[in-house]
Amino acid sequence: MSEHKVADPGPLGLAGFAMTTFLLSCWNAGLFKFDGKTAAGLTGAVALALFYGGIAQFAAGMWEFVRKNTFGALAFTSYGAFWLSFYAIIKFNLPAAGGAVGLWLLAWTIFTLYMTIAAAKTNTAIFSVFVVLLITFVFLTLGNWNAGHANLVKIGGWLGILTAILAWYTSMAGVVNETWGRTVFPVGPRSS
């Protein structure tokens, strides 16, 4: 096995994705109402979208390029860009009329579909993240299409929370297993 010059950026990318997804999904699901408002999840998600979900995850993607991991490079760089674009939509108050958010989510659903096909050749943990993320994007796309459908967005929120939990587990497995030098948290077999 060859020695890598760069530590595994996967746990960082997955952690940034998980935490940002968790907060936005809590908002989509309508959780954590303070003073009758659910803005806490959105506020946290916007801040994380720039730094942790965006910049840190994008950087993880660049490091995956150095490690010659095309899947990780594309996934982390793209979803880092997803969070940066989400930040721009919210912070620059870009118009969301006429189904613009639904169309934006549809594009991400299509991307996630072919990344899920590629993820089938990684391991069970990564594949699970992508399967649930794909379903999450389907519900969020339908929920935000044209006039919007609040119940579909809420379902997408709950699915996003599950996606975040799976991504956190996979991140934890990556860092703990490497640090301990043995499998403490299994990620499932690689496909052949």
Token pair listed for 62: 């660049």
The CA distance from 175 to 132, in Å, is: 22
User: Do 49 and 20 meet the contact criterion of CB atoms below 8 Å apart?
Assistant: yes
Which of 63, 51, 62, 64 lies closest to 16, judged by CA?
Answer: 51
Residues in contact with 25: Cβ distance below 8 Å, sequence separation at least 6, in sequence order: 41, 136, 156, 157, 158, 159, 160, 161, 163, 164
Spell out the per-residue pLDDT of the chain, length 192, in tens.
556 678 999 999 999 999 999 999 999 998 876 665 656 677 888 889 999 999 999 999 999 999 999 999 999 999 999 999 999 988 887 766 557 888 999 999 999 999 999 999 999 999 999 999 999 999 999 999 876 789 999 999 999 999 999 999 999 999 999 999 999 999 998 765
